[in-house]
Amino acid sequence: MGELSGVAIGVTAERRADDFIAALERYGADVRHAPTITIIPLDADPELRAGTEELLTSPVGFTAITTGAGFRGWLAAADGWGLRDRLLTALGESRIYARGPKAVGALRGAGLQESFSAASESNAELFGALAEAGIEGERVAVQLHGTPLPEHTSTLERAGARLVAVQPYRWYSPPDVTPVHGLIDAAIAGDLDALAFTSAPAAANFLTLARDHGRYDELLTALRGPVVCACVGPVTAAPLEEAGVRTRQPDRQRLGALVKLLVTTLKV
């Protein structure tokens, strides 16, 4: 018998879902998996390739790297297009701003060196520092992850930067939303003890699909009551918090820490 025996947890992730589910099941949890987003394969993403080719047309003064996974995925896709070395050279000639240690690790693993790392691992700190770095008239490359960040990139444009944004891991709603509707129904019926979220797009689209399903208000009632909402970090939690749902987050924004949080919170 594990510490989570008899505990039902809904998992909404697509990326790294197998690792996450296996970790929860080792503790005895009953995991119900319904990905709320589908990721576009990087090497088949025409927008990512077009953005990469546009970036390489002229020098870049500054670069913002928001996620380690996104950066590594971008390099892997560029390698498939025969553009990896040119991309690394172009970014290496710029001043690179990173959002925390995971982005820094990916950069250094590729032989690049950051000029700045956001200690809080927040987009607000990353883009705030970049906006104050003297970017007027500069060409600035921004690696996004999963979703646009107009509230942050507009700050750079107001500071006079010329942006080239690339977005690895673009997403769309899953072609079959029936499993997500089932997860929504289970949460409302009291059949779930917790829901776990590992990305902001997954959390946001979960709420959107609940609205489309006609059960948005009922879902919010459940999420504000008996169902624990666990998020890997504040960025992921933001769509839920904005809807008035209290979330729980681990001290470290890591998948393993999220598993430990769920065990500590829900163990029987």
Q: Which residues, other chains included, contact 103 with Cβ-Cβ below 8 Å and sequence gap of 6+?
A: 65, 66, 67, 68, 71, 114, 117
Helix (H, G, I), strand (E, B) or coil at 162: strand
Rounded-to-integer distance, Cα 49 and Cα 80, Å: 10
Indicate the Cα dihedral angle 228, 195, 179, 243, nearest 10°. 70
pLDDT of residue 107: 97
pLDDT of residue 268: 60
Rounded-to-integer distance, Cα 201 and Cα 232, Å: 13
Q: Which burial class, exposed, middle or buried, applies to 137 when counting CB atoms under 10 A from its CB (0-12, 13-18, 19+)?
A: exposed
pLDDT of residue 14: 84
Q: Which burial class, exposed, middle or buried, applies to 255 when counting CB atoms under 10 A from its CB (0-12, 13-18, 19+)?
A: middle
Helix (H, G, I), strand (E, B) or coil at 33: strand
Rounded-to-integer distance, Cα 176 and Cα 164, Å: 33
Give all domains of the chain, ordered by start, each with its CATH number.
8-37+176-266 (3.40.50.10090), 42-166 (3.40.50.10090)
Mean pLDDT, 10 residues at a time, the chain of 268 residues = 90 89 95 92 87 96 94 94 97 96 95 96 93 96 84 94 91 92 98 94 94 97 95 91 95 91 90
pLDDT of residue 66: 94
pLDDT of residue 1: 56
The pTM (predicted TM-score) of the whole model is: 0.69
pLDDT of residue 146: 67
